[in-house]
Amino acid sequence: MHNQDFSYTRTYRGPVKLVVFDWAGTAVDFGCQAPIIAFMEGFKKRGVEVTMEQARAPMGMEKRAHIEAVLAMDEVAALWRSVHGKDATDEDIDSMYEDFVPHLLSILPDYSALIPDVADAVSALRADGVKIGATTGYFHEAAEVVVRAAAAAGYIPDAHLCASDVRQGRPSPAMVHRIMELLDIYPPEAVVNVGDTVVDIHTGLNGGVWSVGVAATGNETGLGLKELEELEPARREAKIATARSRLIQAGAHFVMDTMAELPGIIDTINGLLKQGKSPYSHC
């Protein structure tokens, strides 16, 4: 008999072992403000006024790729041509990225505070023996600024990576898989990826892990804590509902408004795993 004559299914029924968090908009920088400020300033400097929605759309990607993705949008490309008389080139993208790096580094310390409920959620996970990973689309220098600020506030992941640590940034799952390797965690069913962007959700799905979105604190709502709190309640709920809908449409297995809900979601996932469910079978 040949091996191809047989097939079998092996089902993981253990608990969640690892939760991998994004940084900006998920763990720090309520509303994912720092990169947007730097991106929009970079376009404005070149005479191209992009909208907040355009600038935020590719959030979560490696930052040079993010600039390239915005420039590839039809409306932005047309605006660039009207200002510069030609399409943006690789040299233009490189130049914008070179400007973006120091600008982001200059403002990042002001946008690295831990988001409320993150510390408590992480403590609850650690109490259950769950490992904590962190990934970001930031480059090394920016990632280290955030890592140091978070450590000073008591948030220290077991392993952390940035886009420049792997061959492909998000939505490739390379960073998630590398965190799994570093912490010796498997199978993918035992891993949860948490993020605030559509790209984060796609990354988790591409990696075969549970993909959880956070709506109120991140890129899809796009407001700082004070701005969000000052909104009239119905308008605030409408903005969060829109963010929630985008993350659900991206394929998230679960979407929460804030990190306070995460321990309960992990309990739900543990219950699904006991039933033999997986990120592929759960709808």
DSSP characters over 32-64? S-HHHHHHHHHHHHTT----HHHHHTTTTS-HH
Give the catalytic positions in this structure.
22, 63
Q: What is the pLDDT of residues 249-268, one digit of tens each?
A: 999 999 999 999 999 999 99
| Cα dihedral 245/251/256/262 (nearest 10) | 180
What is the predicted pLDDT for the residue at 208?
A: 97
Q: Tokens standing for 190? A: 């035992």
Right CATH for 18-32+113-274 from 3.20.20.10, 3.40.50.1000, 3.40.1280.10, 3.30.565.10: 3.40.50.1000
What's the CA gap between 105 and 73, in Å, rounded? 26
Do domains 18-32+113-274 and 35-110 share one topology? The answer is no
User: What percentage of the chain exceeds 90 in pLDDT?
Assistant: 94
Instruction: With beta carbons less than 8 A apart as the criterion, state whether 181 and 173 touch.
Output: no
pLDDT at 281 over 90: no
Q: What is the pLDDT of residue 282?
A: 67
Q: What is the mean pLDDT of the chain?
A: 95
CA-based nearest residue to 44, from 110, 126, 94, 100: 100
pLDDT attached to residue 5: 80
35-110 folds as DNA polymerase; domain 1 (1.10.150)
Q: What is the pLDDT of residues 70-112, one digit of tens each?
A: 999 999 999 999 999 999 999 999 999 999 999 999 999 999 9
- Position 8 confidence tier, pLDDT thresholds 50, 70, 90: confident
- How many helices and strands, by DSSP H and E, does the chain display? 12, 6
Query: Domain residues of the chain, as ranges?
Result: 18-32+113-274, 35-110
pLDDT of residue 15: 98
What pTM was computed for the model?
A: 0.91
